[in-house]
Amino acid sequence: FWKTIPPTEPYRVILGDVRDKLYHTRERSRQLLSNGISDIPEEATFTNVEQFLEPLELCYRSLCSCGDRPIADGTLLDFLRQVSTFGLSLVRLDIRQESERHTDVLDAITKHLDGSSYRDWSEERRQEWLLSELSGKRPLFGPDLPKTEEIADVLDTFKVISELPSDCFGAYIISMATSPSDVLAVELLQRECHVKTPLRVVPLFEKLADLEAAPAAVSRLFSLDWYKNRINGKQEVMIGYSDSGKDAGRLSAAWELYKAQEELVKVAKKYGVKLTMFHGRGGTVGRGGGPTHLAILSQPPDTVNGSLRVTVQGEVIEQSFGEEHLCFRTLQRFTAATLEHGMNPPVSPKPEWRALLDAMAVVATEEYRSVVFQEPRFVEYFRL
Residues with active-site annotation: 246
Task: Specify the amino acid at residue 165.
Answer: P
Interhelix angle 208-222/250-270, nearest 10 degrees: 10
What Cα–Cα distance (Å) separates residue 110 from each residue in 113, 116, 176, 182, 237? 5, 6, 22, 16, 28
Contact 15, 59 (CB under 8 A): yes
Residue 45 CA to residue 20 CA, distance in Å, equals 8
Contact 304, 338 (CB under 8 A): yes
* Angle 39-197-152 from CA coordinates, rounded to 5°: 75
Interhelix angle 351-372/250-270, nearest 10 degrees: 130
Helix (H, G, I), strand (E, B) or coil at 79: helix
Calculate the CA dihedral of residues 14, 20, 22, 23 and round it to 10 degrees: 160
Contact 88, 165 (CB under 8 A): yes
